[in-house]
Amino acid sequence: MEMNAIVAGVGMTPFGKHLERGLKSIGAEAVTAALADAGIEGADLDAAYVGNAAAGLVTGQESIRGQVILRSVGLGKLPVVNVENACASASTALHQASAMVSAGLYDCVLALGVEKLYHEDKKKSFGAFSGAVDVEFLQAFMTAMQKSAQAGGAKSASEGAGEKRSMFMDIYAAVARAHMDMYGTTVEQFAAVSAKNSRHGHLNPRAQFREELTVSEVLAAPMIAEPLTRPMCSPIGDGAAAVVLVSEDRARDLGISKPVRIRSSVLHSGWDHGMDEEDAAGLCVREAYEEAGVGPADLSVVECHDATAPAEVLAYESLGLCSKGEGGKLVEAGDTSLGGRIPVNTSGGLLRKGHPVGATGIAQIVELTEQLQGRSGDRQVEGANVGLAHNGGGTIGTDVAAMCVTILTS
């Protein structure tokens, strides 16, 4: 459906390692900030959609995660919908909140994404990702990944998946090797994504990593799963991000004179299709552009799901920023850097801002909203008026399990 929800306020915690804080503390910080930014009280909310992916495994909190978090800041009574959709949990919560406002069922809705991934037991943290595939086929899936790595001479990728790192790093590594074989993409081009995002993250006070890296430093870092070195892989993290969405009538009541609007929000899951046929990301992108009435050339700024550096390169191609196989050249030319033709991941992306999976999708919306409102400080994209968020999660068959693409305009 065509969306027409207005962003009244945003809030976000710094992303990072917060072992001493719980879900309630982290979530409350983002909610309080978003309400203050919108200039409203909690009592003004009609409903809340709360995205979280892994609390059940990492903290033991199941079933009523949103209610527990919101009650800690005095928000009871209102309808709370808990949303779990892998790394797309927060964007799915936003999608649902936007739909309800656009349909006229609610006038003022909170969308929150929150996650705690750090745990003293690292296996518990990384094990949270292993449930984002079809677990009945997990062992066969892991064996196939190991055989693929061994056949390609990828020693690091042949062992340790799911225990020393998220198994998704191995999935992305396999995709990267295939892209290199098919299109001639180089490891230096993948490293250029990490270097670019480190420059952007250096300018973001809420980013998990603030250190700037060169391409050489990225390549010299420890190998995780060939060809991915550590800075080419997003870290686990803790954090939360929140958005208050309102109807046009409520926006007028609040005196919002230059609204940031959700123009489209498209959600699909993967399916069985041919390797050369349109996938979930392609379908979401195509429908989002059609609903918003814009195309790739209209975009001012993009936040994409760079769970790894190669994932950002593939996103360029899915979004139509360049032709198939040309993503490596696009980043190498500086087109996706601040000051370039189409800046991507001005926040630092998942690679540097961090990736508390249940919060990531709304963190993208926070960054884009602030860009469209001209309040991004040193990383501001001049004249930004159209932003796109691309957020996916999980794997089903050979496709992403959940993909959401959202377009905002000012």
Q: What is the pLDDT of residues 139-171, one digit of tens each?
A: 776 777 677 767 766 666 556 555 566 778 888
The residue from 119, 179, 200, 355 that is catalytic is 355
Say whether 390 is catalytic: no
User: Residue 340: which of 218, 214, 200, 206 has the closest Cα?
Assistant: 200
pTM of this structure:
0.94
CB 324 within 8 A of CB 51: no
What are residue 233's phi and psi, to 5 degrees?
A: -120, 135
Say whether 355 is catalytic: yes
CA distances from 269 to 23, 369, 380, 395, 398 (A): 28, 26, 33, 9, 12
What are residue 47's phi and psi, to 5 degrees?
A: -170, 170
| Domains of the chain by start residue, with CATH | 5-120+236-409 (3.40.47.10)
CB 51 within 8 A of CB 356: no
Q: What is the pLDDT of residues 69-86, one digit of tens each?
A: 999 999 999 999 999 999
Helix (H) or strand (E) holding 367: helix 360-372
Token representation of residue 145: 């990944």
Token representation of residue 177: 């090797």
Residue 124: its pLDDT value, please?
Answer: 80
User: Residue 182: which of 281, 324, 278, 77 has the closest Cα?
Assistant: 324
CA 109, 344, 369 angle in degrees (round to 5)?
25
Q: What is the mean pLDDT of each run of 10 residues along the chain (410 residues)?
A: 91 96 97 98 98 95 96 96 98 98 98 95 80 81 70 62 71 93 97 98 98 98 96 97 98 94 98 90 98 98 98 98 98 98 98 97 98 97 98 93 98
The residue from 87, 108, 304, 404 that is catalytic is 87
- How many helices (H) and strands (E) are present in the chain, helices listed first? 15, 11
